[in-house]
Structure 1
Amino acid sequence: MGAKVLIVDDAAFMRMVLKNILTNNGFEVAGEAENGKEAVIKYTELKPDLVTMDITMPEMDGITAVKEIKKLDPQAKIIMCSAMGQQAMVIEAIKAGASDFIVKPFKEDLVVEKLNIQQAK
């Protein structure tokens, strides 16, 4: 079984798309969260190998969630998911501790490549 991944996105459709990509490519979906606050709680419970994190979410945004998770686990591997045109936010997320980013709409081969790179680190 591949790496355990926590999928964080406020849009159920996006979580479903990512879940399909991951399961079709040998990753295990450890869990899902629909906001940053839930992501931090699930991270501590599930101890995933990787996290895919949306940037814009209610309750707690992805950048704040990255900072919180990194406080709990400085080794956390978090890949940000952003729509086109969110470059400034992606840079902020990388500064906050995100490992990489993938752009929506998701391209399966790119998502798999980025997750494999992070898993190998």
Structure 2
Amino acid sequence: MANRILIVDDAAFMRMMIKDILTKNGFEVVAEAQDGGEAVEKFEDVLPDLVTMDITMPEKDGISALKEIKAKHPNAKIIMCSAMGQQAMVIDAIQAGAKDFIVKPFQAERVIEAIQKALHE
């Protein structure tokens, strides 16, 4: 059975890029969200195996959503996505329980490597 993934990013184009990489590599994208609040709701609905979470989003950012999901689901596997120059936020995310992070623009090999690693921890 394919691993079930929730993609969270406020940019539809970025969600589409990640979805394309994942589906081509045998993963199942079970839901998408465009902000942290929606991410928390969708997580509860679909209980995915893994989440890719953008850090900077309107309404609720990725770190707030990460903390909220981890509070209810301590074993949730979440990988943060960040643009260059967001090192401080990435450190916050890792300290809050993120498994890894991938940098935009996405490189397919790095995305798959981070996901495989997080799923098999």
Q: Distance in 1 between matches of 2:3 and 2:53?
A: 16
Identical-pair percentage: 65
Superposed CA RMSD: 0.6
TM (norm. structure 1) is 0.98
- Once residues 67 and 107 of structure 2 are traced to their aligned partners in structure 1, the CA distance between those partners, rounded to angstroms, is 27
What secondary structure is seen at the aligned counterpart in 2 of 1:65?
helix
Runs of 4+ aligned structure 1 residues displaced above 4 Å come to: none
Q: Which ranges in structure 2 are unaligned for 5 or more consecutive residues? A: none
- Give the match's secondary structure for 1:53: strand
Indicate the SS of the match to 2:85. coil
Structure 1 equivalent of residue 18 of structure 2: 18
Structure 2 partner of 1:48: 48
Q: Any stretches of 5+ residues in structure 1 without a counterpart?
A: none
CA shift digits 1:51-84 (9 cap, x unpaired): 0000000110000000000011000000000001
What is the 5 A alignment of 1:64-75?
64-75=64-75
Whole-angstrom CA distance in 2 between matches of 1:48 and 1:15: 16
Q: State the TM-score, normalizing by the size of structure 2.
A: 0.98
Deviation at 1:91, TM superposition (A): 0.2
